Amino acid sequence: MVQQVRPAQLAQWLESVRPFGEPVVLDVREPRELQLASVKADGFALQTIPMGILPLRLSELAPNQPVACLCHHGGRSMQVAHFLKSHGFEHVANIAGGINAWSAELDPSIARY
């Protein structure tokens, strides 16, 4: 099961998984989307790998590393979270609502598109 975490709950989730390794927020949006809006790493590592090429770059992530997946609204990131779980990743969450919710709940300076 993939845990759903709202952006406002992310800091708490990050602290809960920190004993398992340095957490990463994995942004799976396309490069053109990243140009429109991006989050800033604060208390986590930020990695960007578009969903379509993640299988080719999976080795860039460690299965024991906690990963919170992020996309525009939460649909693609949920698919990626399930993919990671099926490949042995233990501590995986989906950031529910995606960067759109991140802007609404945490940082209104992030553009909504």
Active site positions, annotated:
71
- What is the DSSP secondary-structure string of 4-62? EE-GGGHHHHHHHHGGGS--EEEE-S-HHHHHH-----SSSEEEE--GGGHHHHGGGS-
Cβ atoms of 49 and 60 closer than 8 Å = yes
